[in-house]
A and B are shown apart, each in its own frame.
Chain A
Amino acid sequence: SSELTQDPAVSVALGQTVRITCQGDSLRSYYASWYQQKPGQAPVLVIYGKNNRPSGIPDRFSGSSSGNTASLTITGAQAEDEADYYCNSRDSSGNPWVFGGGTKLTVL
Chain B
Amino acid sequence: EVQLVQSGAEVKKPGESLKISCKGSGYSFTSYWIGWVRQMPGKGLEWMGIIYPGDSDTRYSPSFQGQVTISADKSISTAYLQWSSLKASDTAMYYCARTHSSPTYNWFDPWGQGTLVTVSS
Chain A residues near B (Cβ < 8 Å): 1, 29-33, 35, 37, 42-45, 48-49, 54, 84, 86, 88-90, 95-102
Contact = CB atoms under 8 A, between A and B. Distances in A.
B113 A42 contact: yes
Contact of B106 (A33, A43, A54, A101): A33
Contacts of B102: 49
A49 B104 CA distance: 8
Interface of B: 35, 37, 44-50, 59, 61-62, 95, 97, 99-102, 104-114
A89 B105 contact: yes
B32 to A, nearest CB: 13
A100 B50 CA distance: 18
Given A31-B104, A86-B44, A96 B62 contact: no
A74 to B, nearest CB: 18
Contacts of B44: 84, 86, 99-102
